[in-house]
Amino acid sequence: MTANPSMAPKTALVVVDVQEGIANLTSGVPDADKITKAIGAILLLARQHNEVNREREKAIEILFIQHDDKDSEDPLYRGKPTWNLVFPPRQGVKTERLISKNVGTY
């Protein structure tokens, strides 16, 4: 039986809500600076892996999840500087994708 490459397991790195309004807070997020540096280091390793392993089936999918709050007073409201991603996906890189999310109304 021959394995189907499209059925091969994929590896993904999911970077969730690493936005200026969360990652660069001086209060409220313990060790935010250390966490952001660690995320940057892991992201760098994934990107380096993808440079070496250009074959799609060996690449790591990098998904950037960006919170888009519905409340215009919230720091993560679309368009505010605090809404911006600290580590955005690179344009034209097929293994890096942006996914926008928001919360429902209560």
Q: Is the pLDDT of residue 28 over 70?
A: no
Q: Give the whole-angstrom CA distance, residue 67 versus residue 85.
A: 9
* Mean of all residue pLDDT scores within the chain: 86
Identify the CATH class of 9-101: alpha beta
Q: Give the whole-angstrom CA distance, residue 51 versus residue 72.
A: 39
Q: Are 86 and 67 in contact (CB under 8 A)?
A: no
> Where are the domains positioned within the chain?
9-101
Residue 6 tokens read as: 């499209």
* Position 106 confidence tier, pLDDT thresholds 50, 70, 90: very low
The pTM of the full predicted model, rounded to 2 decimals, is 0.83
* Position 105 confidence tier, pLDDT thresholds 50, 70, 90: very low
Please give the order of strands across the beta sheet that includes 11-16.
Answer: 11-16, 60-67, 96-101
Q: Give the whole-angstrom CA distance, residue 29 versus residue 36.
A: 11
